[in-house]
């Protein structure tokens, strides 16, 4: 499953960041997930619970998800518009010379540590 | 890029310490893939990443292509299909070329690290071209750079000509799109011109090659493209 694979990458990067910051236990991880990243947030948190609890450093650690809206830019008329609503075709001028500005993010925003 | 100390800001909020990271989970993989590509360049080995939905005809196309190229260049195959060594056995018996089975551990894609492990088990000094048959899936493999020189994908006629609209990322990362199963065109309302138009919307530079892997029709064009790629890479 896609989300489980993603969870393993998150765990690897979080453990590395924790180590570099001398952190022993992480209480929460905040993710930026793009609207068109193909990741289903509920699956991601389910997989996270299962995998994170197997790691001492991440036992009980919460995965918080913040959604990044998908925005497309039109090269023809230089406008930005919401991707999910209008897709590849610019709603202002009808051009398809458009490209995704944001919305594909799968990014670790921050980790939180109880002091 | 290794996580760099000065990109981390520590702030105190009540009794919770927040450490900002701002790091894409694809970043490590992108770096590993670039490294792998540079190494392959210096060793004169071309890696092709072949992707498609399950059953589009990756294995059949590979067999036809290898049989046209195996007297001209030295080829090895890495199989990452979930339905395990069935394909590896098929390739070996139909072409005489050995193939290595990669274990993805249930993962839906291969990343650069797994590809490197596969290549470590390939006699790279005796090979000009390695073809990777990726996991049958149109979503996840598109997101992970394997370190291949080029990505190719196969779209078969029964899947429909609007697939480039449904899987935009996959089509935007592929330099070649092979349209397979041309023999069944009469039974489907597949519009080849529309399909080409949709592919160009995703990637204006993509080469589109219609083939019938079953009979071998059109495979010469794909084999020629690949041979040209390998020769250019080894210069
Ligand atoms: N009619 C037709 N069937 C094909 C063609 N190419 C492959 N197939 C069949 O499609 C099925 C899946 O092919 P395979 O190469 O195993 O697909 P893979 O899963 O992508 O490796 C097999 O039954 C093939 O015989 C073709 O050009 N025409
Ligand atoms: Mg196969
Ligand atoms: Zn516009």
Q: Express each pLDDT in B4-32 by its tens digit.
A: 444 455 555 568 889 988 889 888 899 99
- The answer to whether the Cβ–Cβ distance between B17 and A108 falls below 8 Å is no
CA distance A113 to chain B (A): 5
C-alpha distance across the termini of chain A, in Å: 35
Ligand 1 contacts CB of residue B217 (under 6 A) = no
Cα A53 from chain centre: 20
Q: Is the dihedral of CA B200, B56, B92, A1 positive or negative?
A: positive
Return all residues near A26 (Cβ < 8 A) that are at least 6 apart: A14, A18, A57, A58, A61, A111, A112, A113
Write down the pTM of the prediction: 0.83
Provide the residue-wise pLDDT of chain B in tens; the chain has 235 residues: 344 444 455 555 568 889 988 889 888 899 999 999 999 999 999 999 999 999 999 999 999 999 999 999 999 999 886 656 788 888 989 999 988 888 776 677 888 988 999 999 888 999 999 999 998 888 888 888 999 999 999 999 999 999 999 898 899 999 999 999 999 999 999 999 999 999 998 899 999 999 999 999 999 999 999 999 999 999 8
Q: Does B181 contact A at CB distance below 8 Å?
A: no
Name the residue of B49, B55, B87, B136 to mutate for ligand 1: max ligand atoms within 8 A of Cβ.
B55
Q: Retrieve residue B130's tokens.
A: 């390695």
Report how far residue B8's alpha carbon sits from residue B116's, in angstroms, rounded to the nearest whole number.
30
For ligand 1, atom 8, which residue shows the shortest CA distance?
A: B57
Q: Ligand 1 centre and the CA of B42: distance in Å?
A: 35
Q: Ligand 1 centre and the CA of B128: distance in Å?
A: 26
Which residue of chain B is at minimal alpha-carbon distance from A17? B3
Q: Ligand 2 centre and the CA of A1: distance in Å?
A: 19
Neighbour tally for B134: CB within 10 Å: 28
Name the CATH superfamily, with its identifier, for domain B3-233. Answer: P-loop containing nucleotide triphosphate hydrolases (3.40.50.300)
> Residues of A near B (CB-CB distance < 8 A)?
1-2, 4-6, 9-10, 12-13, 16-17, 20-21, 23, 27-28, 38, 88, 96, 104-115
Q: Which domains are seen in chain A, by residue range?
A: 2-112 (3.30.2320.80)
- Residue with token string 């894409």: B24
CB B177 within 8 Å of CB B52:
no
A71-74: strand order across its sheet:
A80-82, A71-74, A98-102
Q: Express each pLDDT in B121-158 by its tens digit.
A: 888 999 999 999 998 888 888 888 999 999 999 999 99
- The interface predicted TM-score of the complex, written ipTM, equals 0.85
């Amino acid at each position: 499953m896609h989300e489980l694979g993603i969870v393993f990458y998150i765990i690897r990067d979080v453990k590395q960041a924790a180590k570099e910051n001398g952190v022993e236990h992480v209480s929460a991880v905040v993710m930026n997930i793009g609207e068109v990243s193909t990741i289903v947030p509920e699956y991601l948190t389910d997989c996270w619970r299962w995998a994170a609890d197997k790691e001492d450093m991440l036992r009980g650690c919460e995965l918080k998800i913040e959604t990044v809206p998908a925005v497309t830019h039109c090269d023809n008329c230089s406008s930005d518009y919401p991707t999910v609503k209008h897709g590849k075709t610019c709603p202002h001028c009808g051009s398809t010379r458009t490209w995704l500005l944001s919305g594909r993010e799968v990014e670790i925003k921050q980790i939180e540590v109880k002091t | 890029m290794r996580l760099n100390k000065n990109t981390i800001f520590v702030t105190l909020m009540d009794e919770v310490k927040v450490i900002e990271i701002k790091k894409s989970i694809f970043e490590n993989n992108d770096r590993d893939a670039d490294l792998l590509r540079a190494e392959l360049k210096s060793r004169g080995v071309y890696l092709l990443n072949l992707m498609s939905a399950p059953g589009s005809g990756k294995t059949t196309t590979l067999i036809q292509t290898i049989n046209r190229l195996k007297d001209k260049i030295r080829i090895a195959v890495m199989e990452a299909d979930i339905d395990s060594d069935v394909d590896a056995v098929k390739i070996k018996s139909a072409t005489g070329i050995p193939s290595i089975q990669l274990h993805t551990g249930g993962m839906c894609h291969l990343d650069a690290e797994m590809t490197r492990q596969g290549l470590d088990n390939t006699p790279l000094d005796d090979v000009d071209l390695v073809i990777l048959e990726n996991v049958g899936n149109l979503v996840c493999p598109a997101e992970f750079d394997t370190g291949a020189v080029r990505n190719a994908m196969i779209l078969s006629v029964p899947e429909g000509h609007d697939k480039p609209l449904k899987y935009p990322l996959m089509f935007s990362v592929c330099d070649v799109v092979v349209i397979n199963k041309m023999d069944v065109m009469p039974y489907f309302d597949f519009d080849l011109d529309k399909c080409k138009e949709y592919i160009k919307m995703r990637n204006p530079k993509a080469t589109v090659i219609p083939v019938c892997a079953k009979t071998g029709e059109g495979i010469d064009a794909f084999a020629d493209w690949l041979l040209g790629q390998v020769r250019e890479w080894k210069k």
